[in-house]
Amino acid sequence: MPVPRYRRIALRGLVAAVVAALLNAALVPVARTLAIAPGFEPIAYPPVVFLTVLGVLAGTAVFAAVTRLSTTPGAHFTQLAMVALALSVVPDVLLLFADENATVTGVLVLVLMHVVAALVAVRVLVRGVGPQH
């Protein structure tokens, strides 16, 4: 028996969340080893893993809605994800003014983590939903 569409989306969302969290978690020791931003708390396992999973699961919910509302869900979700990605880095940039331990390089690592999560989520979620145009 085929798996219902929303269940497939949920499973893909879980896979995307785990993969993105693992990839972003792998960046934490690299940033620490290179002493990119000593004492910069956002580059630590708990916030990185939690916020990555939260973001990807939120994206999964948006994707489920888009598949219901759009005739080209892959393309529409990709566009929405890019807008969300652009907006998601604003708080990271603001950390440069709010956190004395923030460095430009540290913030760029956080931005890279956002990009990783977005790329994984888009790739895993839109796979198999048809044309991207």
132, pLDDT greater than 70: no
pLDDT of residue 4: 65
- What is the reported pTM? 0.91
pLDDT of residue 1: 47
129, pLDDT greater than 90: no
131, pLDDT greater than 60: no
pLDDT of residue 30: 96
Average pLDDT, the chain: 93
Q: What is the 3-state secondary structure (H, E, C) of the chain?
A: CCCCHHHHHHHHHHHHHHHHHHHHHHHHHHHHHCCCCCCCCCCCHHHHHHHHHHHHHHHHHHHHHHHHHCCCHHHHHHHHHHHHHHHHHHHHHHHHHHCCCCCHHHHHHHHHHHHHHHHHHHHHHHCCCCCCC
Segment 58-117, tens digit of pLDDT: 999 999 999 999 999 999 999 999 999 999 999 999 999 999 999 999 999 999 999 999
Segment 107-119, tens digit of pLDDT: 999 999 999 999 9
pLDDT of residue 66: 96
